[in-house]
Every structure is written in C-alpha cells, then in structure tokens.
Amino acid sequence: MSLPVHLVPTMADVRPGATVEVTGDEAHHAVAVRRLRVGESVVLTDGAGTSATGEVTSTGKRVFSVTVHSIDVLPAPTPAITVVQALPKGDRGELAVEMLTEIGVTRIVPWAAARSVAVWRGERATKSLAKWRATSREAAKQARRTWFPEVADLANTADATALVRAADLVVVLHEEAAQPLPAVGDAAHVVVVVGPEGGLTDEEVAAFVAAGAVPVRLGSEVLRTSTAGVAAVAALLAGTPRWG
C-alpha cells in the first residue's frame, strides 16, 4: 500500500535519524481526519524535490512528529510543462487543476481570456485562486509527487503572451487549426495554451502566433476547456522520456 504523503515547509538540513515536526492544517487533517497513529510510516516532502520516509513517533491535536529513516532527492522533471488555462465556469477549473497536477505539469497559469465565462475580481479572485492552489496541493500529494506544481497569479493576455515568448515550444489548442501536436523533441520548456468555453478570439490567436506559438488541433472532437489541456499534455508527455 502506498504511504500517505504530507507537505512540510522545508526539508533543509533534514537527515536520516532526524525528527521532523508537522503542524497546522496539514497535521490536523492527518491526525483528526485520517486518524494518523504512532508507529505508522509516512512520506514527508517539501514539494521542491526532496522527500523523506519515516515513522510517526508522536501525535497531538494539530501536530505530529516523524523520525526520518531515508531521504530521496529528485531533479526537476524535464521537459517542464506550463499550462495557460482559460478560466472555466463553475467547478471545472478545479477539475482541470486536479487532473493537470496528477499528470505532472510544472506550472498552471489561470488566464482571463476575452471569452471566459468566469470572471475573477476582488474577493472572488482571491478565493478562487486559493481554491485552485489547495486543489493542486492535495492532488500532488495524492499523486505522490515530489515536485509540486506552481499555480501562478491570474494572468491577462499580455502576461500569457510573455510566457509564450520565453518557452521553447508553445502549442495553442484551437478547433480551427489544421496542424496536429508536434513532437516535443529537445524542448526543455513547453507551454500549452487552452482557451475558454467560448473559444479563442482572432486577436488572441494572432498575439500568440506572433510570439512563437503554433495553433494545433486534437483530432476531430472538440474537448471541453477543462479536459483539453489534460489530453494535450498527456499526448505530449507520451513522446518524452518522462512517459517513455
């Protein structure tokens, strides 16, 4: 059975034999909800490449301690995949974030596209972004990731275009495109742009293409915005050593 994974702020200077204390909401969920007990084995990770396997030695109301038995340090996965995800309506944003996290993306960028049905402003923007980040964090633990993805601040089209310029390979999912997904090749940083339910505007497509992106189509079917990015990333990763 897979061991439960818990996120800790840092693993700096942690060595086998050390004791790590987990506190706050992370500990409360483990102890009060999951009923963590002394003697159980768990995995601790900082979400930045380092994980530790150890045994629970004590528990409290919002705290538990782990004696570390072994440490693993993994390099960041390559290619790194960034998904610029137009804001979907309802809870489909969390669905997209959950699945993208599970399949291994490096960064998720919520994007306020021109035709996005959902609008993030003020307090709603703060709460929605927090929900995306919490969803990604829990999905990363469930997927047993050592490197957790970043969920960036809300981006506008100018922000998204700047990301496109900085990447090695960028694909824009567009139902009117004729070209299929290209091979990743030796690209170290790949960006996938996913439009909203209402589709991309001509101006958005033109801005991305001018910045170096390639419009592509995923077969004859038209996927929802919450699943299109997942399908595209999976297809791209299937041609890389990460999934080879």
| Strands (DSSP E) found in 60-201 | 63-73, 80-86, 107-111, 150-151, 169-173, 189-194
Which pTM does this prediction carry?
0.94
Domain range 5-73, CATH class: mainly beta
Q: How many helices (H) and strands (E) are present in the chain, helices listed first?
A: 6, 11
Residue 1's pLDDT is 66
Q: What number of other Cβ atoms are within 10 A of residue 106's Cβ?
A: 19
Q: For the chain, which residues score pLDDT lower than 70? A: 1
Integer Cα distance of 46 and 147 in angstroms: 8
Per DSSP bridges, beta strands 150-151 and 63-73 are unpaired
Q: What is the pLDDT of residues 30-51, one digit of tens each?
A: 999 999 999 999 999 999 999 9
User: Measured on CA atoms in the order 162, 78, 185, 240, is the torsion positive or negative?
Assistant: negative
| Per-residue pLDDT at 169 | 98
**Residues forming beta bridges with residue 72, ordered by sequence position:** 51
pLDDT of the residue at 222: 85
Asked if the domains at 5-73 and 80-237 fall in one CATH topology, the answer is no
Residue ranges covered by each domain of the chain: 5-73, 80-237
CATH code of the region 80-237: 3.40.1280.10
| Cα dihedral sign, 165-121-106-204 | negative
